[in-house]
Amino acid sequence: MSGLARTVRLPDGTDVPAFGLGTWRMGERRQIRQAEVAALKAGLDLGVRLVDTAEMYGEGEAESIVGEAIAGRRDETYIVSKVYPHNASRAGVVAACERSLKRLKTDRLDLYLLHWRGSHKLSDTVAGFEALMAAGKIRAWGVSNLDVEDMDELHAVKGGKACATNQVLYNLARRGIEAGLLAWSRKHGMPVMAYSPLDQARVPGAPGLAAVAKRHGATPAQIMLAWAARHPDAIVIPKATRLEHLRANIAAMELKLTAEDLADLDRAFPPPKRRAALEML
């Protein structure tokens, strides 16, 4: 199966693309807006089917950019957005979603996430998500940046077990979720969405990474992305605003890392030995 054809199954049985386009920091500079729209359109033209955004990104402007990019091809695109924690009351979730739908110029979201834990009760947030699902405004809901204890609390809430995914920081240089959260997610059959799989373009210069890249005739960034995407239950959402970077990211999904590669990368970037507070950017 080719890289872009790979899918990850949500707990409800829905298969979603394992690779998507991130939009964090889009919509912050008006002078490059059309370039950002063009980058998303190029990704769709190349076969990418998932786009991840949030009401926080550019204070809604990223969603507007996505809406422009998917015009005329909504049905072929899996759209993920997120609600601010301060909007995550029962009624606030519904109102925030309506605003996001308007900016995206669509009648539904495929997946709607709580962006991070805030002051509103999880039970209220879940109730808001359930109301949106009943109205056909969202097809699934999940969370982002929630750690093990938060997930336990969420699962104890009425309806909380319907959570589809947890979007978290995960890359070769930031492996913290391997010390607890990843195992929790697998126990409950819940995939993770790895944001910043290229660590915000801060590709480490470790010799071990360079050696693996050379072995595959690839770049260190491509190895980082292939490493994060190696899990059958992980969705990766790197951002690219230049066509060459977009093509490189897509090509990385075809790389198959060997046991030798993974051992070399473990030596260069040791897995965590104990749990620590969940990192987020």
pLDDT in tens, 37-73: 999 999 999 999 999 999 999 999 999 999 999 999 9
CA dihedral 280, 19, 207, 270 (to 10 degrees): 50
Over range 69-97, report the average pLDDT. Answer: 98
Q: Which CATH architecture describes the domain 14-164?
A: Alpha-Beta Barrel (3.20)
User: Which one from 57, 112, 170, 195 is the annotated catalytic residue?
Assistant: 57
Query: How large is the average pLDDT for residues 231-260?
Result: 96
Q: How far apart are CA 217 and CA 204, in angstroms?
A: 17
What is the pLDDT at residue 129? 98
Q: Which two tokens stand for residue 49?
A: 């089917």
Q: What's the pLDDT score for residue 244?
A: 95
pLDDT digits (tens, 9 = 90+) for 108-149: 999 999 999 999 999 999 999 999 999 999 999 999 999 999
Question: Per-residue pLDDT for 165 more than 90?
Answer: yes
C-alpha distances in Å from residue 190, one per residue of 1, 43, 145, 171:
22, 26, 14, 18
Residue 247: pLDDT band (50, 70, 90) is very high
pLDDT of residue 201: 79
Alpha helices in 81-219 (DSSP H): 90-104, 122-134, 148-156, 181-187, 207-216
Look over the chain and give the mean of its residue pLDDT values, rounded to a whole number: 96
1 falls in which pLDDT band (50, 70, 90)?
low
57 is catalytic: yes
Alpha carbon of residue 185 to chain centroid: 15
Helix-strand-coil percent breakdown of the chain, rounded to 5? 45, 15, 40
Distance between CA atoms of 140 and 80, rounded to whole angstroms?
10
Backbone angles phi, psi at 180, to 5 degrees: 175, -55
The reported pLDDT for the residue numbered 3 is 82
| Between residues 241 and 216, the one the model is more confident about | 216
User: How many angstroms separate the CA atoms of 50 and 237, rounded?
Assistant: 8
Domain parsing of the chain, residue ranges: 14-164
Q: Which of 251, 189, 201, 258 is nearest to 230 (CA)?
A: 258
State pLDDT tens for residues 199-235.
Answer: 987 877 888 999 999 999 999 999 999 999 999 999 9
- The 10s digit of each residue's pLDDT in 14-45 is 999 999 999 999 999 999 999 999 999 999 99
